[in-house]
Structure 1
Amino acid sequence: MIYHNEITKLLNTKKIKKTAMRILVLQFFLEQNSAISLPQLEHKFYYSERTTLYRTLKTFETKALVHKINDGTGVTKYALCESNCKIEKHTDIHPHFYCEKCKITTCINYVSLPKIQLKNFKVFTTEIIIKGICEVCNKVA
């Protein structure tokens, strides 16, 4: 397995029990440069039950291994968290870019979002989706 040591370390660090499906799904995440949806996982792991894949994603999210992305398409996507993400609170607060040509959503990790405080409001999360044409599609156009 290409990422065996990294996968084992990530699962151990996040206190996630190692199962064959979790190892395979995590390896798939590590091989991607963009966010992944449940339908994409179902396509990749067509031999697995949807429930198993969904539970794997939920476990990864609960343990702060992946974060959920709502890019406005109506399909929830997931991407690996930054290493400092904690179970109590996801700390990877960054914008996401949705390419309107190739339909790929990407984390923009090198841009941090400011902590937004609103008077008399309790803010839980901040999400910014940037839409346009990605670097790859822009070169083709």
Structure 2
Amino acid sequence: MLQKLDNILLEKEIKPTAMRLLVLDFLLSQQTAVSLSDLEAAFYRSDRITLYRTLKTFEEKGLVHSIMDGTGSVKYAICEEGCECAPEDMHVHFFCNKCQETICLPKSRIPKIPLPDNFKQEEINLVIKGTCGNCS
């Protein structure tokens, strides 16, 4: 398993450190997006700054994407294989009002939105809010 994690990081040109391997393993085991606070709870002896920098490195290298789900806390989820996390590859997210979980919906793509001339798209975020299947 450790070799698989190493390979995932190396494919994204991320140096595999002990903390990066632990965070990657944790993220891969999650069914929902996680916040920095979630990571802190899972790694309570780890430094918040180190965890934050790990997430930002993963995001910059296209290993995770960030989600603004309206809770005031940025959440992170592993990118699908082959996803470049570019706007044309972005998908919809679902936020459950009951359990407060954020779930990626990778089969529901955000459509390309035509913008006026001289407008430059920098990010897209589409979050559907409601009740998930587990809470229904």
Name the TM tier (shorter chain): over 0.9
SS at match of 2:129: strand
Moved beyond 3 Å, runs of 4+: 89-92
The alignment of Structure 1 onto Structure 2 pairs a total of residues equal to: 135
Q: Distance in 2 between matches of 1:47 and 1:92?
A: 36
TM-score of the aligned structures, taking structure 2 as reference length = 0.93
What are the superposed Cα offsets for residues 51-82 of structure 1, whole Å, 9 maximum, x if unpaired? 10011001000100000100001000000112
What are the superposed Cα offsets for residues 2-57 of structure 1, whole Å, 9 maximum, x if unpaired? x4343122101101001000000000001000001000000100111001001100
2:23 is aligned with 1:29: no
Per the alignment, do residues 71 and 106 of structure 1 end up closer, same or farther by CA in structure 2, a change over 3 Å counting? same
SS at match of 1:8: helix
Kindly provide the amino acid, as one letter, of the partner of residue 98 in structure 2: K
- Give the alignment's Cα RMSD to 1 decimal: 1.5
Give matches, 1:38-57, under 5 Å: 38-57=36-55
- Hey, what does 1:115 align to over in structure 2? 112
Per the alignment, do residues 92 and 46 of structure 1 end up closer, same or farther by CA in structure 2, a change over 3 Å counting? farther
SS at match of 1:73: coil
Kindly provide the amino acid, as one letter, of the partner of residue 27 in structure 1: D
- Hey, what does 1:101 align to over in structure 2? 98
Q: Distance in 1 between matches of 2:44 and 2:12?
A: 27
Kindly provide the amino acid, as one letter, of the partner of residue 100 in structure 1: N
Contact 1:63/1:86, CA 8 A, preserved across alignment: no
Q: Is there any run of 5+ residues in structure 2 with no aligned partner, and where?
A: none
Kindly provide the amino acid, as one letter, of the partner of residue 57 in structure 1: L
Kindly provide the amino acid, as one letter, of the partner of residue 68 in structure 1: S
